[in-house]
Amino acid sequence: MTNNLRLIVNNAHDGALLSATTNALPIAYTQQSKRVKPWRSEGTGEQVIDATLPAPTLLSGGILYRHNLSAGSRVRLEILNGTATAWDSGLRSVSGVIPLGEFRFGIDKWGATSTDDLPVKESRFWFPSTLATGYRWTITDADNPDGYIEIGRIVMGPVISPKFNPSFGLSLEAEDFSQHRRTEGLSLYTIGDGEARRLEFDLDHLIATDRQNLTRAFRRAGKRTDIYVSVFPEAGGFDEAEYAFLGRRENNWK
């Protein structure tokens, strides 16, 4: 691993005061876990999402989760401290289009990304720990084929990154919710659909400060809170995207 595991356990976005350029569906939906309630813009014009935090907060990661941004989209994240811009990503391409050296003619569609087959599209921004009173997302995607811009969840928070990575034996499982049934004629048919990812790993070599930071964060968050995890941060491509997602802790913290 080039970079260590990164976790955002406490999402500052959920307590922020939000506004957006347009709201076909309200921007406050990005503060909820329900898949059926995303934020959606009116049309494909430039969209600006402004957030004001209830108190100055240290931030070091920002994620747009479950979005529909196309290959031609551009995203900018600005971290604000009062009226000053404390950090600025500039306009970035977040699509991850398959490069020509890896593109398979006749198999991959033009403009395809390496993560099209994953259940969730997301875009990650990592930056030095910065004190913030708010932040601003600027999104341009004029050619979005859906005719609108949509984001299911936004995650903003301080990153926890242990000094030592997960132990060998890390396991990622794609959990398919469909079920097989037999008819009276013994034909096999399948009902239901949907997929989730289940990640299991052990942190067997935590130093004292990492253990304290994780204990405080997990005890404060509980099992009800969404936690963002990235096992291969900044690796790029399919590997980073497959091992990065928003979920909830299933087991007890021990």
Mean pLDDT of the region 199-212: 89
H-type alpha helices, the chain: 208-221, 237-242
pLDDT of residue 161: 93
The first and second tokens of residue 167, run together, are: 């132990």
The first and second tokens of residue 37, run together, are: 């309630």
Residue whose C-alpha is closest to residue 230's, from 151, 154, 124, 93:
124
Mean pLDDT of the region 194-209: 85
pLDDT of residue 101: 60
CA distance 103 to 172: 26
pLDDT of residue 201: 86
Mean pLDDT of the region 187-203: 82
How would you classify residue 145: left for phi > 0, otherwise alpha for psi between -120 and 50, otherwise beta? alpha
Percent of the chain with pLDDT over 90: 54
What pLDDT, in 10s, does the model give residues 171-191? 888 887 788 888 888 888 888
What pLDDT, in 10s, does the model give residues 136-152? 999 999 999 999 999 99
CA distance 234 to 250: 26
The torsion angles phi and psi of 212, rounded to 5 degrees, stand at: -65, -45
CA distance 163 to 174: 28
Pick the most confident of 22-36, 181-195, 233-247. Answer: 22-36
CA distance 39 to 23: 7
The first and second tokens of residue 63, run together, are: 């994620």
What pLDDT, in 10s, does the model give residues 100-109? 566 666 666 6
pLDDT of residue 99: 59
